[in-house]
Chain A
Amino acid sequence: MNDRLSETFGALADPTRRAILARLSSGEASVTELAQPFAMSMPAISKHLKVLERAGLIARGREAQWRPCRLQARPLQDVAAWVEHYRRFWEDSFDRLGDYLLELKKQDSKNKKKEKKHVRTQRKD
């Protein structure tokens, strides 16, 4: 269980593996089927599948000769939950940034008004 999350994210970092997962989200598939859209050798695809399997993101069926691959929901849920926490961090920061920028703008227009006044009074002198 240790550092499972890291392994999951590591597996997700690769575009080919993401594509494989996206394909599997619409149902199980054989290795040959999974390899089809890629200009990649079968051993290369198998390597990606091994990474996904180790991360717990997919499981290989034993019931059939062609050993179908299927998506495992649990680690993806953990990832989604974690990303949600990170989103909240940014939503809060963005709220604060918005307030801050508004305050800057207000201050800026105040300063401009002051400047104008200043120029006017100087002209009088």
Chain B
Amino acid sequence: MSAHNARINAGASSEWDLVMTREFDAPRELAFKAWTDARQVAQWWGPKGFANPVCELDVRVGGAIRIHMRAPNGVVYPMTGVFQEIDEPERLVFVSSALDDQGKSMFDIRNVVSFVEQHGKTVLTLQARVISATAQAPQYLQGMEMGWAQTLDRLGAYLQSTTGGRAKG
């Protein structure tokens, strides 16, 4: 019986969930703000070389997220979302959805982001679980990947120009 349970626990989180952990060299308050201030989110959200000409966050439970990611080749990838939990500066839960041409959702993902401070650094863990996904969902992500693979050269200059500009704000 206990062997059974162990197997079941092992299967509770597996390759069909995304779990990522990354350490950031910044205190937790700062890291959390970078996720909840629209102007800041616009600076880093999305693949390399992408810009976010639209980035609106209504940071409260039930509040909406609206981001238009623009690939360097000009293709715009709109997405929406809803905040489900905001527990500053520890935890952020939101659903993100990618939209097709008609504004219909191609996939909905529930993202849980936790912020743990360790010696002045922030260990960030993202857990993402797909709620639903249509047949178009793979193309959406693949298209984005192609968009950024073409532009690695421009990356350095782009990042420098944007980081220089935003830090003043």
Contact = CB atoms under 8 A, between A and B. Distances in A.
A9 B48 contact: no
Contacts, number: 148
Q: Is the interface of B mostly helix, strand, loop or mixed?
A: mixed
A82 B7 contact: no
Contacts of B101: none
Most buried by A among B17, B131, B141: B141
Contacts of B12: 15, 18-19, 22
A37 B8 contact: yes
Interface of A: 1-6, 9-10, 12-13, 15, 18-19, 21-23, 25-26, 36-37, 76, 78-83, 85-107
Given A26-B7, A80-B15, 20 more contacts: A4-B135, A6-B132, A21-B11, A22-B14, A23-B8, A23-B11, A37-B5, A79-B15, A79-B130, A81-B138, A83-B130, A87-B18, A92-B46, A97-B34, A98-B25, A99-B44, A99-B159, A99-B163, A100-B34, A101-B26
